[in-house]
Chain A
Amino acid sequence: MAGILYLMAFVLQKESQKADEYLREIKEQSLLSEAVRQCVEAAGHEHEPETQKTLLRRHFTYRRNDNTHWFTPSLSQLLSLNFPPEQFVSMCRDLRVLNAVRDYTVGIPLTHTQFKQMTVQVLIDRLVYRKLYPLAIEVCRYLKTPEYQGVSRVLKHWACYKVQQKEESDEVIAKAVSVKLADAAGISYSEIATKAYESGRTELAIKLLEFEPRSGEQVPLLLKMKKSPLALSKAIESGDTDLVYTVVMYLKNELNRGDFFMMLRNQPVALSLYKQFCKHQEQDTLKDLFNQDDDHEELGNFYVKASYKDQRLEARVALLQSAVDEYYKAKNDFSAKTTEDEMRLLRFQRKLEEEKGEQLVGFSLHDTMTTLLSVGLHKHAEQLYKDFRVPDKRFWWLKLKALAEKEDWEELEKFGKTKKSPIGYLPFVEVCIKHHNKYEAKKYVSKVTPEQKVKAHLAVGDMEGAAEAAIERRNESEISTVLSRCSATTDHLLMERLNRAKATAVKK
C-alpha cells in the first residue's frame, strides 16, 4: 500500500492528476492509515534526505491540492484515521539527528534501527567520546533531553576534558568552565575538580570547587588534597554539623595535638562542636582546651562539675579549691566566694556528721539548717545563720516552718518573742493553721499588723474579729472579703453590720 502512496506522492510532486486515482484506490481499501505508517517508517530507513522528504511530504501534498476539490484528507482527517501524528513528528526529529551524525565531518553512519537500539543516551556518549561537545549539546537541546541527563552531562564531560588541557592557565580554564556551566542545572563541580586534581592541577581543582554549591561535595576532595583548613571551613559553611565533625575527627588523627588545637581555635563553630564531643567523650581533652584558651571561668566550672562526681569529701574540697583559684583568675569574685562558702559548709557538715551522726553532707545551707532545727540542734543552726550571713527574713521563715513541722509549739512561741519578727506575724498564723493548730495560731493574731489583721482573723476562722478589724479600718474591699466569707444563716447580724459599714465606707 505504502508503495502506491509513495507513487502517488511522487506523482503529485510532479503535479499529475494521476495521484487522485492512486489515493482513491487506497481509500477504497481503507488502508490509508497503514499506508501512511509504512511511509513514515520507510522514511526512517532511508539514508538519502531527499527521499526521506518525499516519503514524509504527503501532508503537504494534500494541502496543496485543497483547492482542487479532489479527495483530499486533511491532517485532522488523518488523525481520525487513527494515525498518530507523534510518530511522524518524532521520526522527523530522529532523522534530523541521524542526518547530522551521518555527515562526513562526524561520520557515524547509523541506521534508524541501530539508533533506536542504542538509545539517545549512548549516541550522546559517543559524541562526547569524539569530543564533539557542541553537536552533543545541540542534539540534547533538539531532542529535549532532561537537563540532568543531557546538556549538563555533556558540559561536565567537556569541563573534565578542558581541565586537562595543559597549555592553558588555571585562571583561564576556571573562568571558561564557570562561564559555560553557569546556567546548567545540577553540575557536579567536585567531579570536575577531581579530574583536575587527578591530572595534577590542585590549584585549579580548588578554584573549581569554589563553584560547587554543595559544600558537602567539596569536603571529601579537599581532604584528599590535604587542604584541611579549607575543608573545615567548607564543612562549616554547609551547616551540616555531622560533616564538620567528620572533618574534625579526620584532623584529630592527622595533625599533632598542638596544630589541631590551633586550627580549631580559628574556627569557633568547629571548636564548640568539638567541645561538645569532648564533654561526652573526653573530659580531659576538654580541660586541655580550656587551658589552652586560658578560659579560667570554664576551668572553674569544669572543676565544680568534677567535684560532684567524686564521693570522697577531701577530693571534693580539693577540686572546689581548684575552682576557687580559677574563678579568682577569671576575676569572678562572686563565684569564688560562693565556692569558698560551699567548701566551708561541706567541712561543717562533715564535722557535725561525725559528732552527731546526722546525715548532712551535700545538703544546701537551707536544708542543713532545717535539719539541724528539726533535731533540736538550735545552736548549730544559729551558728550557720550568722557565719553565712543568711538574711533575717529567710532565717525566720525557715525556723518558723521547721518548728511547726516538728510541732514544737513551745519553742516556736519562744522564738516569736525573741525580737520583732522581720516577716511579721501573719506567717506564724498561717503556718500554724497549715499544721491544724488553731489554738497556737490565735496566739499570734493580735501581733499582726493592722493591714493584715483581717486576713489573720479570717485564717483562724474568727468572723467577728475579722469584721471588727475591717470595719475599724473602713476598708471597702476588706469588708467585701469578709462578707463573701460570711454564711447567710449563721452570720446574719454580722452581715448587716458589715453592709452598713460598707455603705459608709463607699460614701467616704
Chain B
Amino acid sequence: MASHLFCGRVNLNILREAARKDLREFLDKCSGSKAIVWDEYLTGPFGLIAQYSLLKEHEVEKMFTLKGGRIPSAAVKNIVFFVRPRLELMDIIAENVASEDKLHPRDFHILFVPRRSLLCEQRLKEKGVLNSFTNIDEYILDLIPYDGDLLSMESESSFRECYLESDQTSLYHAAKGLMTLQALYGTIPQIFGKGECARHVANMMLRMKREFAGSHTQILPVFDTLLLLDRNVDLLTPLATQLTYEGLIDEIFSITNGYVKLPPEKFAQKKQGEGGKDLPTEPKKLQLNSAEELYAEIRDKNFNAVGAALSKKAKVISAAFEERHNAKTVGEIKQFVSQLPHMQAARSSLANHTSIAELIKDITTSEDFFDSLTVEQEFMTGVDTDKVSTYIEDCVAQKDPLIKILRLVCMQSVCNNGLKQKVLDFYKREILQTYGYKHILTLKNLEKVGLLKPQSTMRNNYPTIRKTLKLWMEDTNEQNPNDISYVYSGYAPLSVRLTQVLARPGWRSIEEVLKMLPGPHFEERQQVPTGLHKKRNKPVILVKSA
C-alpha cells in the first residue's frame, strides 16, 4: 500500500505509520459513527497518510467539505472538523454549530492540523460555541512522507508567508516536524544551514531540544547531517523550466499531493467497433510515485532520454509476452501465468506513460517552447541580461500567459542581480498595460520577496557564483548523465551544488560565494547519546528547503 516509502535509504514508512496511529487514536476517541467535515485544503495532504478505507474502519460514514450554513444531514453520532487553525475557518465552524438541529444534536469535535491554536479557540469562545465541542485536539502533520526519499510539508504558501508577509508559522511547523523526525530516527548529529529562515529553524530546533532534555531518544541516528536552505538562497532554480520527465509533467499538468490530472482523450479505453464515441470528459487522475516500477525508472530522466527508455521497456515487455510461445511444459505455462498480472500492470503503466510522453512531446517540440528555453539558457549563462529582451517584449505583445512573462523577467533579474531601473520600469509598464493595472500589486510583491529588483550599486555577482559553483555545464550528457546539470540540460541547480560542496570538500572552500548569497551560513552539532555513534560509510543527508 505504501511500498513507495520503502525504496529509499531510510524507511520512511515508520513516519507514515506513526501518523496513521495518531489518526486512528483520535478517531477512536470520538466513539460511534461519525462524519468528517474537511477543510478542503487538507484532503490532499491527508491522502498521503491514509485512504478512505482507514477512516471507514473507524466508523467514518460521511465526509463533507467545510462551508457556511448547516452541515448536511447525516445519521451519525459525531461531527468531526478537520481544519487548519485559521480564524476564517473558525467563523464557518461556529456558523455550522450554531445552525445545528437542536432536536437531534450530534457531538462535535475539532482536530486542528497541524497544531492547536489558542487564538482559534479564543475565537470559538467569543462566538459562544467553544463548549459545544467534546474533543479539541491536534493532529501533528508537519513532514509528510511523500516518496521513498522525500518528505514534504505540502505547504505551498510558506514562501509567500515567510518572505512577503513575515509570518514564520511554517518555520515553527518545520522545526517541530524535524523534532518528530528525530524522535523516530534519532538525533541528527550535524546541522548545516544557509539563510535567515534556516537559522531560525535551527535555533528553534536547538531550543526545543533543550526543552525536551531528559527525554532524549535512545535511537541510533539514521541521518548524519541536516542541511537547511532558505528558498531565497536559490531563487533561480524554481524559475527555470524543469526538463526531467516528472518536471515536465509538473510544468504542463502540475502535480498536486502526488497526483496529476491529465486530459482524458489520450487515455480513452479503445474498444473495438465503438470508434471514438463516449470519450470520457472527466480528467484522468493518476498517482505518481516510485511504487510504479517504470515511473521510478524514468521520472528523473531528462525528457530527451525518456523516449529511448520507453521503447526499451516496450521491447522487454513484449518479449516477456512472447515467452508464452516458448512455454511448453505445464510447469512452464504455470509459471508464465503466475507472472501475468505483473506483466499486465507493467503494460498498462507503459501505455500510460507513453501517452503522457506524447502529450509532453507535442509541447517540447514546439517552436515556442524552444524559443523560450533558449532565452532562459541565455539568461542563465549571462548573455544580454542587462538589456530589454526582445523575446520577452514579443511575448508580452502577443499576450502570452502572464506567468510565463513573470518567470522570464524574474529570471533575468536574478541572473543579473537586479535589473537596470530603466529596463525594470519598461517591463513593468508593458505588463501593466497588457495584463491590467491590478498587477501593480503583483509586481510589488515580487519586488518585496526579491524575485524582481532594481540593480543596486553593487557589482553583479551572479557570474562569480555561476563559475565557482559550476552552475552551467557546457557538455551535459542527457542520456547517461554524470552531473546533475542534466536536469535542466545545462543548468545545475544552485541548491544541489551547495549540497554537493557540503558533502565534499566542505563549505569552507566556497566561503566567498556563500557570502554573496543572502543570509548567514552556520553549522551546529547536536550531542548524540554515547554509544549511539554510528559506523556507516555512506552519509545520509537530509536537505530541507524553507
Contact = CB atoms under 8 A, between A and B. Distances in A.
Interface of A: 147-148, 152, 184-186, 213-215, 237-243, 245-246, 249, 268-269, 272-273, 275-277, 280-281, 301, 304-305, 308, 334-335, 338-339, 341-342, 345, 363-367, 388, 390-391, 393-394, 396-398, 401, 423
B167 interface: yes
Contacts of B210: 213
Considering the complex of A and B, which 4 residue pairs feature the smallest CB-CB distances, nearest first? A185-B214, A272-B166, A364-B436, A397-B397
B165 interface: yes
Contacts of A268: 166
A186 B399 CA distance: 62
A397 B430 contact: no
Q: Is the interface of B mostly helix, strand, loop or mixed?
A: helix
A334 B452 CA distance: 15
B440 A242 contact: no
A245 B168 contact: no
Contacts of B437: 338-339, 341-342, 345, 364
B85 A152 contact: no
16 contacts: A214-B211, A215-B207, A238-B204, A239-B168, A241-B168, A245-B117, A246-B122, A272-B167, A301-B444, A335-B444, A338-B428, A338-B437, A339-B440, A341-B437, A366-B433, A394-B397
Contact of B87 (A214, A281, A366): A281
Interface stretch (B9-17, B169-177, B334-342, B463-471): B169-177
Given A215-B207, A281-B87, A242 B397 contact: no
Nearest to A332: B444
Given A280-B87, A280-B88, A242 B119 contact: yes
B425 interface: yes
Nearest to B428: A334
Contacts of A391: 393, 430
Interface in B125-176: 165-169, 171-172, 175
Contact of B435 (A308, A334, A364, A394): A364
A147 to B, nearest CB: 6
Given A147-B214, A148-B215, A339-B440, 16 more contacts: A186-B214, A238-B207, A239-B171, A243-B118, A246-B118, A249-B122, A273-B166, A276-B165, A280-B87, A281-B87, A338-B432, A365-B433, A366-B434, A391-B430, A393-B394, A397-B397
Interface string B440-458: 1100100000000000000
A393 B440 CA distance: 22
Nearest to B169: A241
Interface residues of B, number: 46
A417 B59 CA distance: 75
Contacts of B433: 364-366, 388, 390, 394
A302 to B, nearest CB: 10
Interface in B403-445: 425, 428-430, 432-438, 440-441, 444
A308 B434 contact: no
B398 interface: yes
Contacts of A366: 399, 433-435
Given A186-B213, A241-B168, A269-B168, A304 B434 contact: no
Contact of B430 (A152, A215, A245, A394): A394
Nearest to B200: A239
B396 interface: yes
B437 to A, nearest CB: 4
Contacts of A246: 118-119, 122
Contacts of B166: 268-269, 272-273
B353 interface: no
A388 B204 CA distance: 52
Contact of B394 (A241, A275, A308, A397): A397
A476 B245 CA distance: 32
B67 interface: no
A83 B203 CA distance: 54
B138 to A, nearest CB: 11
Contact of A304 (B203, B211, B429, B440): B440
Interface of B: 85, 87-88, 115-119, 122, 165-169, 171-172, 175, 200, 203-204, 207, 210-211, 213-215, 393-394, 396-399, 425, 428-430, 432-438, 440-441, 444
Contacts of B398: 397, 401
Contact of A338 (B168, B200, B397, B440): B440
A276 B215 CA distance: 36
A504 to B, nearest CB: 28
B397 A301 contact: no
Contact of A272 (B165, B207, B397): B165
A183 to B, nearest CB: 9
B218 to A, nearest CB: 13
A277 B200 CA distance: 22
A415 to B, nearest CB: 15
Contacts of B172: 239-241
A301 B172 CA distance: 29
B542 to A, nearest CB: 20
B436 A276 contact: no
A398 B118 contact: no
B397 A393 contact: yes
Contacts of A363: 436
B434 A365 contact: yes
A273 B119 CA distance: 12
Nearest to A333: B425
Which of A147, A341, A394 has the most C-beta atoms of chain B within 10 angstroms of its own C-beta? A394
Nearest to A281: B87
A241 B167 contact: yes
B175 A239 contact: yes
Contacts of A273: 166-167
A334 B427 CA distance: 12
A21 to B, nearest CB: 51
Nearest to A273: B167
A193 B8 CA distance: 48
B216 to A, nearest CB: 9
B513 to A, nearest CB: 29
Contacts of B429: 338
Nearest to A148: B214
B293 to A, nearest CB: 36
Contacts of B88: 280
B115 A242 contact: yes
Nearest to A366: B434
Nearest to A236: B168
Contact of B441 (A245, A272, A301): A301
Contacts of A275: 165
Contacts of B397: 393-394, 396-398, 423
Contacts of B175: 239
Contact of B119 (A249, A308, A364): A249
B404 to A, nearest CB: 16
Contacts of A335: 440, 444
Nearest to A455: B367
Contacts of A272: 165-167
A242 B215 contact: no
A240 B396 CA distance: 44
A462 to B, nearest CB: 19
A209 to B, nearest CB: 14
Contacts of B432: 338, 341, 364-365
A185 B119 CA distance: 31
Contacts of A338: 428-429, 432, 437, 440
Nearest to A184: B214
A391 B398 CA distance: 13
A394 B426 CA distance: 13
B366 to A, nearest CB: 13
A238 B203 CA distance: 10
B428 to A, nearest CB: 7
Nearest to A272: B166
B123 to A, nearest CB: 10
A150 to B, nearest CB: 11
A234 B153 CA distance: 26
Contacts of A364: 432-437
B209 to A, nearest CB: 9
